[in-house]
Amino acid sequence: MYNKKESSKKYYLKNRRRLIEKCKLWQEKNREKANGYVRKYYFKHRNLCLFKDKIAREKLRKEILLHYGGKCACCGFSDLDFKIYNHSFLSIDHINGGGTKHMKKIKRGTLYKWIKRNKYPSGFRVLCMGCNVSMIPGENKCVLHKGEVI
Ligand SMILES: [Zn+2]
Ligand SMILES: [Zn+2]
């Protein structure tokens, strides 16, 4: 009875050297390809896509922030481009912290898209990072600026 597995094994053993050589050649050829044009094109294209994406995201973020006043609702900080540890200092906050549940549903990165899609609903404000972390839920002034007249 013809045994395919057996015969291919025999074939392999018989032609092992030649097959390995062929395989190596093929790999080398493809590695060259992968290192060359295709790879370059891929990375260039990928970076370009990421860059375009970043610009679009930034534009949207500024659009939303400006709509909600363009400055921290507590301390008045208004530099939309200011970043700290690669995070923008100003961001959208859900007033009264009622957004925790809601925010969990919407990922941080998609909040701006969500706001625009829902035609800028009320209940949001702009806060800077400092005031954001110091805000007592339900208050309009953070612990740092409480009692200050701004
Ligand atoms: Zn602030
Ligand atoms: Zn504050």
**Residues 35-88 pLDDT 10s:** 666 667 777 777 777 888 889 999 999 999 999 999 999 999 999 999 988 889
CA 34–ligand 1 middle distance (angstroms): 50
* φ/ψ (deg, to 5) at 94: -85, 115
CA 62–ligand 1 middle distance (angstroms): 17
The predicted pLDDT at position 115 comes to 93
CA 107–ligand 1 middle distance (angstroms): 23
User: What ligand has the least distance to the C-alpha of 135?
Assistant: 2
* φ/ψ (deg, to 5) at 77: -55, 130
The predicted pLDDT at position 31 comes to 66
pLDDT band at 150 (very low <50, low <70, confident <90, very high): low
CA 133–ligand 1 middle distance (angstroms): 10
The predicted pLDDT at position 65 comes to 97
CA 36–ligand 2 middle distance (angstroms): 53
Q: Nearest 5°: CA angle at 102, between 73 and 100?
A: 60
Determine the Cα–Cα distance for residues 55 and 103; give it in Å rounded to an integer: 24
**Residue 136 token pair:** 């007592």
